[in-house]
Structure 1
């Protein structure tokens, strides 16, 4: 094998397919690779033939130019693939295995990994705890929106599907295990969703839809999804959610009261993040809007799950404070209501096996919930454009034409 093709961030608003090097078991220099990571040997890793790799809203932030991502960065942290080469130190994963790759890279050896905080591994990113494939400031591990990709720490990280034929039948569901499904589920768990809960989910993008479906799996009595996008709200309604259109009706508490008879919910999940907009027809970008609104509508003693992405560097922010992640949050309100906040990357490995079993048993229908839509590698540019316009689809790249 000598070649590879990948989706590469070119400039704000633009991605392209480029010929790139076939991966090997070493992290070589390239766009975004931390100098201290260059030359890391990965005999504990594997090479995957990518079966599916998804476009994520976090990728879209970079493509919009809202991060410091360098031109030439190979994108993609939602990866499912077949093992075609194993490193010398890999003991249990074998050639031919079909596996899901957690988006957070974790060594399995450090204190955080041993305590199941694989979202903040101490050994994979010289800049700060935590890493991911194909993402800015995450150490420079090469992304998986490509034909082939290298995955380190294979024995620890990879989730092997027990039956390849069965897995391929459900691959559009199983591809969501690398990020979006565990992320939505983590948001729901962090918010304290339990049987009988009333839940508000801010944002009807793919993560919001995954969080809403997760809340249903956890037994929520009512799941309310809010967004400015009518098409995305229709998708949420298609699998049993209540919805509120915040473009048409700016007062969230009033809309919740119309549904529940009370203006508060038991718990709330922020699936929007730092590119949040204000409510109403004349809305503009206001990055603290969602955090403040979910504090307002969550009952005293409730919890807020915050899987939505917030960053420390946003060159396109609306003000100087927001450019470094400083937001005008009504923290006093949250304190007065004794709210619990849970933030940060999702520790995928805490959830992915259970969610795999929910998919294989037919209990979870995540592909239907997020409107999974298969595309080719060549379709990636147009898919990013459609996603940016707010289409209600979760784009799944099938680089080798393996998905029926």
Structure 2
């Protein structure tokens, strides 16, 4: 039996690299696996040798103890890899293919998948629509921060890179296709970004930087990124964004100083439920509705909000009983009065990843540079998590099998 090493959540603030089973074409019992999925056969799956697997802010929510994730859950949903084995039901994906794995697990057969709503597939999670690798309440599919991982419905889910050598030359950029680049792009698209738009992106973490990159790719005239982390704001400025430091003054006033008017056409929430109140620096207290309310304030009437930031239905660390259930004090009256539209939920990665792959391969965008991607070893994952949690302006990319040594 081949060996396998993986990054697992142990307790709040603690991750470890542990020995785990090598994948098989059957879901086994384990931490977080939905009982209804135990024993599920996966003849349509492929086993992937991981080329790159990224640390995501969504992982960080679990590691902070802000979800109901169980101990020893194997983490990781941002996966790029090489196919090493395929099940008997796989027809088109071949051993040796280099592929991007959308973080959404989708069957390709249900009504939602057929309508390109792959973030809410009906057949992969017995509890609710939608699934993902290595994530709490997402069906229990084993995470990809590992040397090897199983991908179900391989012919449907996997995006094959057309040329192996070209892909390896741009592998850090292509590693962003599994989640944050399409997610940021989805946030910008659903916010209505187009040629000449003015855009406010709340949050300068990797998803916020990806949303800002996407807004520029879509033709925005001005992209403003807001945060309270000076290093992350500097990263946003490095590729042409304007920035506002939310610890140094009122958001509306700062936007007016940049644009001459106190509003933008489009707003993107790239923060989610662990948002902090604005204008209070490093000591700002958690205020989970603050980003959504501020976006409604600054987005012009008739505009739209793209909300790729994560919101959950179970948060043990929520500031009050309502927040612990995902109930927030939204100023919905503001949104109604201004006729704003909202788009929330998982990004349907497959809707965008092929086009964004082409943009990368043809040098139209350099997403790895914009999010400051940095390759580290699998064994170094605990340090990567700690530094990311401390606010590092870095997108950490794990390198379990040495493919990224040159990067």
Range into which the TM-score falls when normalised by the shorter chain: over 0.9
The residue that corresponds to 2:153 in the other structure is 153
The residue that corresponds to 1:242 in the other structure is 242
The residue that corresponds to 1:214 in the other structure is 214
TM-score by length of 1: 0.99
Query: Aligned pair 1:296/2:297, yes or no?
Result: yes
1:373-402 CA-to-partner distances (Å, cap 9, x unmatched) read: 000001100000000000000000010111
Residue 248 (structure 1) shift: 1.7
Query: What is the CA RMSD across the aligned residues, in angstroms?
Result: 0.5
The residue that corresponds to 2:318 in the other structure is 317
The residue that corresponds to 2:403 in the other structure is 402
TM-score by length of 2: 0.99
The residue that corresponds to 1:169 in the other structure is 169
The residue that corresponds to 2:79 in the other structure is 79
1:221-254 CA-to-partner distances (Å, cap 9, x unmatched) read: 00000001111000000000000000122x1000
Counterparts of 2:2 and 2:46 in 1: how far apart (Å)? 16
Trace 1:38-57 onto structure 2 (pairs within 5 A): 38-57=38-57
Residue 301 of structure 1: SS of its match in structure 2? strand
Residue 189 (structure 1) shift: 0.1
Residue 292 of structure 1: SS of its match in structure 2? helix
Residue 2 (structure 1) shift: 2.4
Residue 30 (structure 1) shift: 0.2
Residue 319 of structure 1: SS of its match in structure 2? coil
The residue that corresponds to 2:266 in the other structure is 267
Query: Aligned pair 1:258/2:257, yes or no?
Result: yes
Residue 113 of structure 2: SS of its match in structure 1? helix
The residue that corresponds to 1:68 in the other structure is 68
The residue that corresponds to 2:33 in the other structure is 33
Residue 21 of structure 1: SS of its match in structure 2? coil
Counterparts of 1:311 and 1:164 in 2: how far apart (Å)? 38
Counterparts of 2:87 and 2:43 in 1: how far apart (Å)? 4
Counterparts of 2:363 and 2:403 in 1: how far apart (Å)? 22
**Equivalenced residues, count:** 403
Counterparts of 1:212 and 1:379 in 2: how far apart (Å)? 29
Counterparts of 2:279 and 2:231 in 1: how far apart (Å)? 17
Residue 283 (structure 1) shift: 1.8
Segments of 5+ residues of structure 2 without an aligned counterpart are none
The residue that corresponds to 1:135 in the other structure is 135
Provide runs of 4+ in structure 1 moved above 2 Å: none
Residue 360 (structure 1) shift: 0.1
The residue that corresponds to 2:343 in the other structure is 342
The residue that corresponds to 1:14 in the other structure is 14
Counterparts of 1:127 and 1:390 in 2: how far apart (Å)? 33
Residue 171 (structure 1) shift: 0.2
Residue 235 of structure 1: SS of its match in structure 2? helix
Counterparts of 2:99 and 2:300 in 1: how far apart (Å)? 41
Residue 73 of structure 2: SS of its match in structure 1? coil
Counterparts of 1:248 and 1:261 in 2: how far apart (Å)? 19
Residue 41 (structure 1) shift: 0.3
Residue 51 (structure 1) shift: 0.4
Residue 74 of structure 2: SS of its match in structure 1? coil
Counterparts of 1:330 and 1:301 in 2: how far apart (Å)? 16
The residue that corresponds to 1:375 in the other structure is 376
Segments of 5+ residues of structure 1 without an aligned counterpart are none
Counterparts of 1:290 and 1:90 in 2: how far apart (Å)? 44
Counterparts of 1:49 and 1:2 in 2: how far apart (Å)? 11
Residue 3 (structure 1) shift: 1.2
Counterparts of 2:374 and 2:63 in 1: how far apart (Å)? 20
